[in-house]
Amino acid sequence: MSPESARTPGRPFGRVLTAMVTPFDAEGRLDLDTAQELATRLVDLGNDGLVVNGTTGEGPTTTDEEKSALVRAVVAAVGDRATVVAGAGTYDTAHSIHLARAAEEAGAHGLLLVTPYYSRPPQSGLVLHFSAIADATGLPVMLYDIPPRSVIPIDLETLQRLAQHPRIVAVKDARNDLRVGTEIIATTTLAYYSGDDPVNLPWLSVGAVGVVSVTGHVVADRLKAMIDAFDAGQTDRARNLNASMLPVLRAMGRVGGAVFAKTAMRLRGLDVGDPRLPLPPATDAEVAAIVADLDAAGVALDPGARSGRRSRGHGALGARASVDLGAEVAYR
Residue at 148 is within a domain:
yes
* Residue 266: inside a domain: no
At residue 30 the predicted structure's pLDDT band, cuts being 50, 70 and 90, is: very high
What's the whole-model pTM score?
0.92
Known binder of ligand: residue 127? no
The pLDDT tens digits of the residues spanning 164-204 come to 999 999 999 999 899 999 999 999 999 999 999 999 999 99
**Contact residues for 36 (Cβ-Cβ < 8 A; gap 6+):** 73, 74, 76, 77
- Domain that includes residue 38, residue range: 16-232
In whole angstroms, what is the distance from residue 285 CA to residue 282 CA?
Answer: 8
Q: What CATH number is given to the structural domain containing 60?
A: 3.20.20.70
Q: Give the model's pLDDT for residue 63.
A: 98
Q: State pLDDT tens for residues 58-98.
A: 999 999 999 999 999 999 999 999 999 999 999 999 999 99
Confirm whether 279 is domain-assigned: no
Query: Phi/psi class of residue 82: alpha, beta or left (left: φ > 0; alpha: ψ in -120 to 50)?
Result: beta
Q: Cα(41)–Cα(134) distance, rounded to whole angstroms? A: 31
For the annotated catalytic residues, the residue numbers are 144, 172
Tell me the DSSP string of 106-119.
Answer: HT-SEEEEEPPPSS
Task: Output the pLDDT for position 308.
Answer: 52
Q: How far apart are CA 39 and CA 53, in angstroms?
A: 13
Any domain includes 288: no
pLDDT of 254-297, one tens digit each?
999 999 999 999 999 999 999 999 999 999 999 999 999 999 99
| pLDDT, mean of residues 131-135 | 98
In the chain, how many domains are there?
Answer: 1
Is residue 41 domain-resident?
yes
Domain contains 274: no
Question: Is 85 known as a binding-site position?
Answer: no
Query: Residues 244-256: pLDDT tens digits?
Result: 999 999 999 999 9
Average pLDDT, whole number, for the chain? 92
Q: Is residue 227 part of a domain?
A: yes
Region 232-238: mean pLDDT is 98
On whether residue 83 sits in a domain, the answer given is: yes
pLDDT for position 8: 62
Rounded to an integer, the average pLDDT of 230-240 is 98
Burial class (CB in 10 A: 0-12, 13-18, 19+), 183: middle
